[in-house]
Structure 1
Amino acid sequence: MMKLFIKEKRFSWRDTLIVRDEQDNVVYEVKSELLSIGNKVHIQDQEGKEVASIEENKMGFSPKYTVYQMDKKVAVLKKDKNLIGSDYTIEKLDWKITGHVEKDDFHIKKGFGTIATFKKKFLSIGDVFVLDVDHEEDTVMALTVVIAIWCLKLDAEEAEKKE
């Protein structure tokens, strides 16, 4: 099991997020890049090597974010509206999101098993978010899914401000 801490405020397009492990070591850095057509996010390991990237796809009616690992498209995340609320869809992976995404308290699941849980840590100075990943090999993808969901939430907040 791997536990990661994001000791920053929620992701915004101007921030660099630092992701730490339980021993407070920097494990990943999340940096944004504003492009003219869409936004792009880079996730780098402690040596500065890019382990994943997320790119906004502005085509269509609702925003989508494509996830790449080593320049290979591995997933597409989007927010679907339905009568009950909204769902976050992860295409190309057999993963789904359950819980309260809007409250930063959700699970990433595959079938009946849990890949990771994500929630805000209580009793902390400032905002601290915790990502618990069951299997270490899923860590980068789980972190990438969390960041892509934050990007989709940012898009929704910006769209509300324009209305």
Structure 2
Amino acid sequence: MNRLYIKQKVFSLSGKFTVKNAQGDDVYFVEGSFLQIPKTFTIFDSSRAEVAMITKKVFSFLPTFFVEVDGREIVKIKKEFSFLKAHYSIEVEGIEVRGNWFDMNFSILRHGEVVGSVSKEWFTWGDSYKVEVLDEKLEKLIIALVVAIDCVKADNSAAATSAAT
């Protein structure tokens, strides 16, 4: 089992942050596009090779995010039409997300078996998440999924803020 930690910087305009292992070493680097359309987040491994990319679809009625891992589109997260509360669906072959992913407290299952879990770390400066990877072959997918869900949350918050003003 690998235990990884994602800590985002509160005042980072560029959207750069790292994923650290239990020893505090940088394992993955995440870089968001700044003032670029479409909005993307790219995930690099410790040798700075690209392992995943999250892209927000431009010009769609409801927000949709695509996740590529190792050059293959694997996950699609899209907002469902609803009147009261935002609802999203996550489409990925054989993978299921169970729990409250808007509070970043959920499990990731593959064919019914838990392969990872995410929990929000409280009382920290900025958003911090603990990611436990039980199936190391799925580590890149799990990290990409967590970053994508966080992107969806940020996009939803930005939309709610702009609608309120």
Q: TM-score, normalized by length of structure 1?
A: 0.85
Residues in 2 aligned to 1:109 and 1:79: alpha-carbon distance in whole angstroms: 21
Match of 2:33 in 1: 33
Match of 1:137 in 2: 137
Query: SS at the partner of 1:34?
Result: coil
Residues in 2 aligned to 1:109 and 1:88: alpha-carbon distance in whole angstroms: 18
TM-superposed CA distance for 1:79, in Å, is 3.3
- 2:15/2:33 contact within 8 Å kept: no
Residues 32-75 of structure 1, C-alpha deviations (whole Å, 9 max, x = no match): 01364320111001111111111111242221111113332222
Distance 1:70 1:103, change over 3 A: closer
- 2:10/2:125 contact within 8 Å kept: no
TM-superposed CA distance for 1:120, in Å, is 1.6
Match of 1:73 in 2: 73
Residues in 1 aligned to 2:148 and 2:132: alpha-carbon distance in whole angstroms: 17
Match of 1:44 in 2: 44
TM-superposed CA distance for 1:81, in Å, is 5.1
Distance 1:105 1:12, change over 3 A: farther
TM-superposed CA distance for 1:106, in Å, is 1.2
Aligned length: 163
TM-superposed CA distance for 1:146, in Å, is 0.7
TM-superposed CA distance for 1:7, in Å, is 2.8
Matched to 1:110, the amino acid is R
Match of 1:117 in 2: 117
Q: Bigger shift: 8-17 or 106-115?
A: 8-17
Residues in 2 aligned to 1:91 and 1:103: alpha-carbon distance in whole angstroms: 19
Residues in 2 aligned to 1:35 and 1:118: alpha-carbon distance in whole angstroms: 29
- 2:69/2:140 contact within 8 Å kept: no
Residue identity over aligned pairs, in percent, reads 26
- 2:10/2:126 contact within 8 Å kept: no
Match of 1:128 in 2: 128
TM-superposed CA distance for 1:16, in Å, is 0.9
Distance 1:124 1:158, change over 3 A: closer
Query: SS at the partner of 1:102?
Result: coil
For structure 2, the 5+ residue unaligned runs are none
Residues 69-125 of structure 1, C-alpha deviations (whole Å, 9 max, x = no match): 333222212233568955543324222222112222111223321121111235667
Distance 1:102 1:73, change over 3 A: closer
Residues in 2 aligned to 1:13 and 1:63: alpha-carbon distance in whole angstroms: 21
Query: SS at the partner of 2:102?
Result: helix
Match of 1:155 in 2: 155
